[in-house]
């Protein structure tokens, strides 16, 4: 079983749509959670950290369910510029290790 599992997509959505990505992780020692964004042929960049109480940054909302070992990312009012691969990432407790999912590809069309 993969340590971090994501639906690879692609998710093809029109501008203005709301889209949600899910992610599950298997290691119960995971302590910190992130969503990174990776544009085509570019490096990953942090989109947002995910906190236990859930958090929002503009059009982006992240949720964490520790009991189910599940993380989600909601994007509202999608823009063309949101087209990218979204990587679910967990940090294992007391280590320097980040474990990446394979990513979910989003394509927003006009």
Partner 1 sequence: ETGVTQTPRHLVMGMTNKKSLKCEQHLGHNAMYWYKQSAKKPLELMFVYNFKEQTENNSVPSRFSPECPNSSHLFLHLHTLQPEDSALYLCASRPPGGGNNEQFFGPGTRLTVL
CB 102 within 8 A of CB 8: yes
Phi first, then psi: give them for residue 90, nearest 5 degrees.
Answer: -125, 150
Residues 42-101 within binding reach of partner 1 (CB under 8 A): 42-46, 49, 87, 91-92, 94-101
Asked if 103 interacts with partner 1 (CB under 8 A), we say yes
Q: Which pair of structure tokens corresponds to residue 42?
A: 């570019």
Contacts of 83 (CB under 8 A, 6+ apart): 106, 107, 108
Q: Which of 31, 52, 54, 79 binds partner 1 (CB under 8 A)?
A: 31
Tell me how far, at minimum, the Cβ of 20 lies from partner 1, in Å. Answer: 20
Binding site for partner 1 (CB under 8 A): 2, 4, 31-32, 34, 42-46, 49, 87, 91-92, 94-103
């Amino acid at each position: 079983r993969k340590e971090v599992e994501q639906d690879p997509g692609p998710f093809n959505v029109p501008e203005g749509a709301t889209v949600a990505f899910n992610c599950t992780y298997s290691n119960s020692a995971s302590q910190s959670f992130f969503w990174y964004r990776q544009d085509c042929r570019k490096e990953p960049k942090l989109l947002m950290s995910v906190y236990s109480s859930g958090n929002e940054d503009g059009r982006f909302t992240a949720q964490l369910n520790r009991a189910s070992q599940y993380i989600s990312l909601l994007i509202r009012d999608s823009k063309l510029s949101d087209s990218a691969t979204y990587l679910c990432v967990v940090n294992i407790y007391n280590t320097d290790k980040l474990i990446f999912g394979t990513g979910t590809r989003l394509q927003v069309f006009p």
